[in-house]
Amino acid sequence: MHNTTRVPCRHLPSLRLKPLALLGALLLPAAASAAPDSAPDVRDPAEVYRQVCAHCHAPDKAVGPEITIAFPEAAWEARGNYIRMTVRNGRAAMPAFRAAKISDPELEALIQALVSGELDDAPAQGGEE
């Protein structure tokens, strides 16, 4: 008989997984350090308003209603949902704006700025055509 060392079959799956586990352990710190750098920049709500909204919604524009007018606080939650749905889906003459134009975090910050009245005095110039 040959005197060879044989690995029992029940240990084969664990031997195959060890290199993968080692590779994963080596790649995990690299992936974790790359995550913060890949986060998209979130523009200031006033900048988003000037670049995207003011073209139609500034006080001197006749295309859309002025959206910086303060509403009763109880109505703002519903108003925020209305703004969110209108921005994403469009309405009448207003086109839909996808996340490539206004990211979800930017849209939420814009809604909060509108709700708080932060944009009431924001300059309404600019606006992309």
Is residue 92 annotated as a catalytic residue, yes or no?
no
Name the burial class of residue 126, with classes exposed (0-12), middle (13-18) and buried (19+) by CB atoms within 10 angstroms of its CB. middle
Tokens of 100: 């490539």
Tokens of 124: 């309404």
Tokens of 42: 């979130």
Is residue 85 annotated as a catalytic residue, yes or no?
no
Q: Which residues contact 106 (CB under 8 A, 6 or more apart)?
A: 42, 43, 45, 48
Residue from 78, 94, 99, 113 carrying the catalytic annotation: 94
Residue from 1, 32, 93, 100 carrying the catalytic annotation: 93
The residues assigned a catalytic role are: 93-94
